[in-house]
């Protein structure tokens, strides 16, 4: 099989998980060495396939027949684990490829992470592997583990004492240590693991392959991913869509959130969009839940496993119950801040609560007082009333210190067991820091337990997003022409807006003039009042040099403004090439937005929309998404803005034409995809969004070519 093209996500990954035979190249009798540990772990945990230790000395290793070369094994191993020094790895890969090995795990270091020479060797490893159709995991990785079949292709210390119990959690991590730490902690919580893979340098197999493989694995129902970066946007999107189609939630701990050292950008758009915000947008588009801490990964992951895909909440409604009014208020604050809602309880429900607990406050949150835990039947009656309420919300019960009291522990466990039996499909969540064995008993009932109020709020909000996976629309895709853009668009806003107008984006009627007399003529034709703006490809931000004059009412004002703008440009930008002055109508009325495009190094063109005008960089109220976006997606972006109320008729103002604004953002995103090879950044600021039915006008625009260094501005 001769190919040097990277395989589609997940293709050939079965070699790392279902291999019927394994060769360990660089095998050792010493189980403290990297070459000794895989052999030991395979034997210790009962791997049923053939194990071929490879060592130049041959003989016997750890009680097994050893072979001088992988070329000498009785049958071709399906998987090879390479634990030899970097200098010997290339020959080992060549031997594996020649022998017909389907997958090779390179554990050793000293490749791309070590410098240019190592990178060159790594590239040759990939070339050899792909030429022979062999998948390559690593180098500089912690390998792969199939817990179900006891196939251990790793030397992780997390496996020394015990193998995790077999279960539903699949783990893929770029960092071996973080991934194995996750695997061990999941096992310590009593959760089973299906498969684990650490991708290391990702010379061939990457995190997308890992996600895709887990999406196809029948033993895996949830995927936990520890991620530093993405090397190929399209492959990641494919893998995430595979998981989504198979209804397997993906929870990602994305580290490296602070983009230190990010180059300055020429446009507002470039300054307002960062790679971490783009990752957020990509995850949101593909139904992935991003968590911000290792603890959140474990808490939410555990809850998702307990609930399963069928019991994940699809509504943000919660009913809160505590034995203390103060705790109830704290719960309400945290839940609302996390985006959850607190619906009112029905009159019948409130009456039944008072019947069970006469002293209870029956608003939401419910102040159930200490009486609720007096007897199991009292607590059960109250919980039953709440679970039967028509609002269909998730019930959240805070126990504080109750589980530490043996009597109260018995009360709660008895009532919780009965309510789960009587209402198996209704969601009940606990907040408690009780003894580990008590928490384990409650979780064994299928009830998620969060350790704190903030953890419960963020966790529940995340579970809701996972539960809404099936309602997400298919992401927009661009399959139109990819054309070169007229270089004139980079000269000034007149030409930039002319190109945007050709793409269906509304702009005012304007003209560039080279003299005061022509400015007056153009202003009369346009109709007073008018705006004058300096036109130059070397002046990106005109207001900063006094290059804009607004609300000019007559000929004299236009003549004065023309002279002033030209003088300001010569004084503040003496080397700038001047095309003249732009004459445009002075447009009033409406709300100002900013929209634009920047180039992400991984995901390509990224479209942004936010509050515009002079406040764009002050408020940073923006939404971003990888281009293209549909009109519906653009509308959701606009509605997500904190200041959306300004567009939605706040304080009696007319509602803005949000549909036209969304259409403009969608067309901008298509323009960016069409001209991605030439255009690095686009800035439309401000966009005047007029009242409903009156459309929008792009009042200023800037385009930056891919060949220009943005930091030059």
What does the pLDDT average to over 211-232? Answer: 95
What pLDDT is stored for residue 615 in this prediction?
Answer: 61
pLDDT at residue 430 tops 90: yes
**Cα 277 vs. chain centroid, distance in angstroms?**
8
pLDDT at residue 338 tops 90: yes
What pLDDT is stored for residue 475 in this prediction?
Answer: 84
What pLDDT is stored for residue 709 in this prediction?
Answer: 42
What pLDDT is stored for residue 651 in this prediction?
Answer: 78
Count CB-CB contacts under 10 A for residue 543: 12
When pLDDT is cut at 50, 70 and 90, the band that residue 614 belongs to is: low
The β-bridge relationship of strands 591-600 and 679-689 is: antiparallel
The crossing angle, in degrees rounded to 10, of helices 658-674 and 631-639 is: 120
Q: What is the pLDDT of residues 578-597, one digit of tens each?
A: 999 999 999 988 999 999 99
Average pLDDT for the chain: 92
353 close to 366: Cβ distance less than 8 angstroms:
yes
pLDDT at residue 668 tops 50: yes
When pLDDT is cut at 50, 70 and 90, the band that residue 710 belongs to is: very low
Encoded tokens for 473: 């629309």
pLDDT at residue 265 tops 80: no
What does the pLDDT average to over 372-394? Answer: 94
**CA gap 439, 430 in Å, rounded:** 9
What pLDDT is stored for residue 258 in this prediction?
Answer: 61
Cβ neighbors of 140 (< 8 A, separation 6 or more) are: 106, 108, 109, 110, 111, 112, 113, 200, 201
pTM for this prediction: 0.89
Three-state secondary structure string covering 518-576 = HHHHHHHHHCCCEEEEEECCCCCCHHHHCCEEEEECCHHHHHHHHHHHHHHHHHHCCCC
What does the pLDDT average to over 286-302? Answer: 93
pLDDT at residue 455 tops 70: yes
Q: What is the pLDDT of residues 165-209, one digit of tens each?
A: 999 999 999 999 999 999 999 998 888 999 999 999 999 999 999
- Domains and their CATH numbers in the chain: 14-248 (3.40.50.720), 313-471 (3.40.50.261), 509-585 (3.30.1490.20), 591-712 (3.30.470.20)
When pLDDT is cut at 50, 70 and 90, the band that residue 708 belongs to is: low
pLDDT at residue 672 tops 50: yes
Strand order in the sheet with 428-432: 366-367, 318-322, 394-400, 428-432, 449-450
Count CB-CB contacts under 10 A for residue 560: 14
| DSSP structure class, residue 226 | E
pLDDT at residue 545 tops 90: yes
Of 157, 13, 35, 153, give the one whose Cα is nearest residue 88. Answer: 35
pLDDT at residue 356 tops 90: yes
What pLDDT is stored for residue 616 in this prediction?
Answer: 62
When pLDDT is cut at 50, 70 and 90, the band that residue 712 belongs to is: very low
Count CB-CB contacts under 10 A for residue 263: 9
């Amino acid at each position: 099989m001769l190919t040097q093209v990277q395989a589609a996500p997940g293709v050939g990954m079965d070699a790392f998980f279902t291999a019927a035979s394994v060769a360990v190249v660089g095998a050792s009798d010493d189980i403290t060495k990297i070459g000794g540990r895989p052999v030991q772990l395979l034997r210790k945990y009962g791997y049923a396939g053939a194990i071929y230790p490879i060592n130049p000395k041959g003989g016997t290793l750890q009680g097994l027949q050893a072979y001088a070369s992988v070329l000498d094994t009785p049958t071709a191993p399906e998987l090879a684990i390479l634990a030899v020094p970097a200098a010997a790895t290339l020959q080992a890969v060549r031997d594996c490829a020649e022998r017909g090995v389907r997958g090779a795990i390179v554990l050793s270091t000293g490749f791309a992470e070590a410098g240019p020479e190592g990178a060159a060797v790594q590239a040759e490893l990939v070339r050899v592997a792909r030429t022979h159709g062999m998948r390559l995991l690593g180098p500089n990785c912690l390998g792969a583990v199939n817990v179900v079949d006891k196939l251990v292709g790793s030397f992780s210390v997390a496996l020394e004492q015990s193998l995790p119990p077999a279960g539903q959690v699949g783990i893929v991590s770029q960092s071996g240590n973080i991934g194995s730490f996750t695997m061990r902690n999941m096992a310590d919580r009593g959760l089973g693991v299906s498969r684990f893979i650490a991708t290391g340098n990702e010379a061939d197999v990457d995190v997308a392959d890992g996600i895709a493989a887990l999406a196809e694995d029948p033993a895996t129902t949830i995927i936990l991913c520890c991620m530093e970066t993405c090397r190929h946007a399209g492959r990641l999107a494919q893998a995430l869509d595979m998981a989504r189609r198979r209804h397997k939630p993906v929870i990602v701990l994305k580290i490296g959130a602070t983009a230190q050292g990010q180059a300055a950008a020429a446009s507002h758009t470039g300054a307002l969009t960062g790679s971490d915000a783009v990752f957020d947008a990509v995850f949101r588009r593909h139904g992935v839940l991003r968590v911000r801490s290792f603890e959140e990964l474990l808490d939410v992951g555990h809850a998702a496993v307990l609930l399963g895909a069928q019991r994940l909440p699809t509504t943000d409604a919660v009913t809160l119950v505590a034995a203390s009014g103060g705790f109830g208020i704290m719960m309400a604050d945290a839940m609302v801040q996390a985006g959850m809602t607190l619906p009112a309880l029905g009159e019948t429900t409130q009456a039944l609560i008072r019947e069970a607990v006469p002293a209870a406050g029956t608003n939401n949150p419910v102040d159930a007082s200490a009486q609720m835990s007096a007897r199991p039947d009292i607590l059960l009656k109250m919980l039953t009333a709440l679970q039967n309420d028509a609002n269909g919300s998730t019930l959240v019960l805070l126990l504080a210190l109750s589980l530490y009291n043996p009597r109260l522990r018995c009360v709660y466990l008895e009532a919780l067991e009965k309510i789960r039996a009587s209402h198996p499909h209704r969601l009940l969540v606990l907040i408690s820091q009780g003894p580990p064995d008590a928490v384990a008993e409650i979780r064994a009932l299928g009830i998620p337990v969060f350790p704190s109020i903030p953890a419960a709020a963020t966790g529940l909000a995340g579970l809701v997003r996972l539960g809404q996976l099936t309602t997400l629309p298919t992401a927009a895709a661009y399959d139109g022409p990819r054309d070169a853009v007229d270089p004139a668009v980079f000269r000034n806003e007149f030409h930039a807006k002319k190109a945007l107008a050709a793409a269906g984006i509304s702009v005012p009627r304007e003209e560039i003039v080279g003299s005061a007399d022509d400015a007056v003529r153009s202003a009369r034709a346009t109709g007073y009042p008018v705006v004058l703006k300096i036109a130059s490809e070397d002046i990106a931000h005109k207001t900063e040099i006094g290059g804009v004059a607004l609300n000019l009412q007559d000929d004299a004002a236009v003549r004065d403004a023309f002279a002033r703008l030209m003088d300001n440009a010569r004084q503040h930008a003496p080397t700038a090439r001047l095309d003249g002055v732009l004459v445009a109508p002075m447009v009033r009325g409406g709300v100002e937005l900013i929209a634009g495009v920047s180039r992400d190094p991984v995901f390509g063109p990224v479209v942004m929309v936010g509050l515009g005008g002079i406040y764009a960089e002050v408020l940073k109220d923006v939404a971003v998404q990888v281009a293209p976006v549909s009109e519906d997606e653009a509308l959701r972006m606009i509605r997500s803005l904190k200041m959306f109320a300004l567009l939605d008729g706040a304080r009696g103002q007319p509602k803005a034409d949000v549909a036209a604004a969304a259409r403009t953002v969608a067309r901008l995103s298509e323009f960016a995809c069409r001209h991605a090879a030439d255009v690095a950044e686009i800035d439309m600021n401000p966009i005047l969004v007029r009242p409903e039915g009156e459309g929008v006008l792009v009042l200023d625009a800037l385009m930056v070519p891919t060949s220009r260094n943005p930091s030059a501005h």
